[in-house]
Amino acid sequence: MSQGPARPIVRAAATTTKPLVLSHTALSGAPRARSRLISADHARAAADTGGVIGVWPNAADFPNLDAMAMGIKRMADVVGVAHVGLGTDLLGFIRPPVFTSYAQLPALARALLKAGFTSVEVGQILGGNYRRVFEATVV
């Protein structure tokens, strides 16, 4: 496994007794030193703790909600649906993200269904997985 910018993920995954949350990221084949993006190996390390990886709506990576849904699908193909969530960052972008308001949740849900997820999986991705991790972490 490459260490690169996500080295703390590997170290945290190796020592935690609780699920990890990577709240604002997406997959990259070659993450840069100062990027939020992670490799598939790093995503699997977090998922192996029972955690959730939040795919963030960066317009540079995902120009529209359909593209974001496909980015979520790529993450789910790597770690499984139970380990994927929505990683919003509505006010933390230099330029506007593709997902700018929670009023877009129905449109994102439709895009996820179109990408091949079931309605149960969409519920997991849009909050159910975070709830599971929250319950496992605070109890």
Q: Quick one: which H or E segment has residue 86?
A: strand 84-86
- pLDDT of residue 5 exceeding 60, the answer is no
Give CATH superfamily name and number for 4-10+18-138.
Metal-dependent hydrolases (3.20.20.140)
Sign of CA dihedral 10, 12, 15, 18: negative
> What's the pLDDT score for residue 73?
97
What pLDDT band is residue 70 in, cutting at 50, 70 and 90?
very high
- pLDDT of residue 34 exceeding 70, the answer is no
Cα dihedral angle (29, 110, 102, 137), rounded to 10 degrees? -60
pTM (two decimals): 0.88
- pLDDT of residue 133 exceeding 70, the answer is yes
